[in-house]
Amino acid sequence: MYERFRDRHPDVTLVLLPADDVGSDPAGAVEASPPDPDLAAHDLEQARDDVGSLLTDVCALLEVEARIEVDWRSGSRAGAVQATATAHGPLPGLPAEIPSTLRSAGWHARLTSSSPVPCVDARLAGHALRIVVHRGRAVLTLRGDDVVVGRARSRALVAPERISRG
């Protein structure tokens, strides 16, 4: 195919580059550099601990009493995941006070919506926080940085196999 193209268009320079995420397998089934499993396991544990403890700190700062859950979501690139912590509980203060409270703890925060549902977006280092307030209750979602684990492990973490009932 490329020979025919070159014959028909001799004035065009054609450069073929290898795909970014595949190794020597022409079908693209093999990843270029699979992550070290031990290093990935350590990074996953650290990312999970970081978002859980950081959201615990945010809940304490805002006086939100809630149970925190941490799970995995797809990262911003293939083969990566992000630890995501969530909490849901009553908010004792006013939504408009949240940005200044977060800023006092070093966050870059702003009220991105004031009505009908107040929403606050904040960032600290590689973490992104979103707080949505509805009827006096807050839903807090904190995402961490990408952890590269490979495509197969990423799929397993984000969408673990479910037990079929039948």
In terms of pLDDT, which residue wins out, 11 or 136? 136
What is the rounded distance in angstroms from the CA atom of residue 86 to the CA atom of residue 95?
Answer: 18
- Model-wide pTM > 0.85: no
Give pLDDT tens digits for 2-35.
666 667 767 766 565 555 544 444 444 444 455 5
Of 49, 144, 133, residue with least CA distance to 99:
133
Write out the two tokens for 82.
Answer: 């992000």
DSSP state of 94: -
Q: How far apart (Å, rounded) are the C-alpha atoms in residues 117 and 95?
A: 10
Residue 36 has pLDDT above 70, yes or no: no
Contacts of 88 (CB under 8 A, 6+ apart): 66, 137, 138, 139, 140
The two three-digit tokens of residue 165, written as one number: 């009932």
- The confidence band for 140, taking pLDDT boundaries of 50, 70 and 90, is very high
What pLDDT does residue 115 have? Answer: 81
Strands 119-124 and 108-113 come out as antiparallel
Give yes or no for a contact between 112 and 123, defined as CB atoms under 8 angstroms apart. Answer: no
Closest CA to 158 of 99, 42, 74: 74
Q: What is d(CA 59, CA 150) in angstroms, rounded to the nearest whole number? A: 32
Please give the share of the chain, as a percent, with pLDDT higher than 70. 75
